[in-house]
Amino acid sequence: MRHADAKFGFSERVGRGLHLAFCAAVFVFLVAPMLVVIPLSFNAEPYFTFTEGMLRLDSDAYSLRWYRNVLEDGDWRRALGNSILIGVAATAIATTLGVLAALGLANPAMPGRGFVTSLLISPMVTPLIISAAGMFFFYSNLGLGQTHLGLILAHAVLGTPFVVISVTATLAGFDNNLVRAGESLGGGPFLVFRRIQLPLIAPGVISGALFAFAVSFDEVVTVLFLGGLGQRTVPRQMWTGIREQISPEILAVATFLVVFALLLLGAVEWLRGRGGVSASGVDKSTQAH
C-alpha cells in the first residue's frame, strides 16, 4: 500500500512537471515574438537585429534615440492624437450600446435572444477585411468616408460585441430581486439602473470598455479602408513606416503598444477579481436576507 502511494505521488509530480513545462513552452511561443522588440527598440544603430555590442551588454550599444525621434516627430504625435480621439469616442458609443443590448438580452422575456446575440457578436467572427470593405461602401455612400466620424462609428461597431459579452457575463450572476426591491420602493427604471444595477455590474462594463478601446487603438484594416491622411492612427502610421522606410522608431512604438497591452490585461484581471468579490458579496447579502 505504501509502495502504491509512493508510485502515485511520483507520477503526480512528474505529470505536474510536464504540465508546467508545456505551459512554459506555450507561453514562450506566444510571448517571445512580442517581447523581442523591446530590447531591439533601444538599439543605438538603425538595425532590426541585435548588434555585437548589444550581445556584450555594452552600454554604448543602447540608446533612447528612437524614442526621442518618435516624441519629436509631428506625424507620430498626430497619429497618437487621432488614435486617442477615435478610441475614446468609439469606446463611449460601444459601451453605451453594449450595456443597453446586454440589459435587453438578460431579460428572459425577450424574444429571439439567441438570434439577436449572434447578430450582435457577428463582427467578432466575421473576417475583418470583409467588415472593413462593407463599412467602406456603406459609410462612403453616407459621405463619411475619410472622416473621423466614419472611423469612430466603424470602430464602435467592432468594439460593441466585447462590451456585450463582458456585461452579459456579469449580469449572469446578478440577483434580479434587487431590481424588484428598488422598483417596489418607488424607483423608476433609470434610477434603479443607476443606483443598483450599474454599481454592481461596473467591473464588467469597465472591462468591456477597455477591450473596446484596445480594439479601436490597435485596429489598422478599417483605417486603411476608411481613413485618409488626416485620420492616420498609430497602427496606420506603423504600417506606412514599414512600407516606405523601415526605421527602429517602429520598434519604439511597438514597445509602447506592448506595455499598453500588458497594463490593459492587468486592469482587466483586476476588474475580474473585483467582479467576483462583488458577486460573492451580493450572494451573501441575499442569502442573509
Range of the domain at 111: 73-288
**And the C-alpha cell for 9?**
505521488
What was the pLDDT predicted at 276?
Answer: 53
What was the pLDDT predicted at 182?
Answer: 78
- Looking at the domain assignment, is residue 34 inside a domain? no
CATH number at residue 130: 1.10.3720.10
- Looking at the domain assignment, is residue 114 inside a domain? yes
What 3-state DSSP class applies to 58? coil
How many domains are contained in the chain?
1
- Looking at the domain assignment, is residue 137 inside a domain? yes
Q: Which residue has the cell 462612403?
A: 140
- Looking at the domain assignment, is residue 180 inside a domain? yes
- Looking at the domain assignment, is residue 10 inside a domain? no
d(CA 149, CA 43): 38
What was the pLDDT predicted at 216?
Answer: 92
Please provide the DSSP assignment of 15-51 as one string.
HHHHHHHHHHHHHHHHHHHHHTHHHHTTBSSS-SS--
What was the pLDDT predicted at 274?
Answer: 63
**CB pairs under 8 A, 24+ apart, for 277-285?**
278/200, 278/203, 279/170, 279/173, 282/173, 282/174, 282/175, 282/178, 282/200, 283/173, 283/175
Nearest to 270 by CA among 210, 183, 185: 210
- Looking at the domain assignment, is residue 63 inside a domain? no
What was the pLDDT predicted at 73?
Answer: 86
| Interior angle at CA 225, CA 209 and CA 236, nearest 5 | 65
Per-residue pLDDT tens, the chain, 289 aa: give them: 555 555 556 677 778 888 889 988 888 888 777 778 888 888 888 877 788 888 888 888 888 888 888 888 888 889 999 999 999 999 999 999 999 998 888 877 788 888 888 888 888 888 889 999 999 999 988 888 889 999 999 999 999 999 999 888 888 777 777 777 877 777 777 788 878 788 888 888 988 998 999 899 988 999 999 888 888 899 898 888 777 667 788 888 888 888 888 888 888 777 767 655 444 444 444 343 3
What was the pLDDT predicted at 154?
Answer: 93
d(CA 97, CA 227): 23
Distance linking the first and last C-alpha atoms of the chain: 50
- Looking at the domain assignment, is residue 16 inside a domain? no
Helices (H), the chain: 2-35, 37-40, 52-55, 65-72, 74-105, 113-125, 128-141, 148-171, 177-184, 189-192, 198-218, 221-226, 234-244, 249-288
What was the pLDDT predicted at 3?
Answer: 54
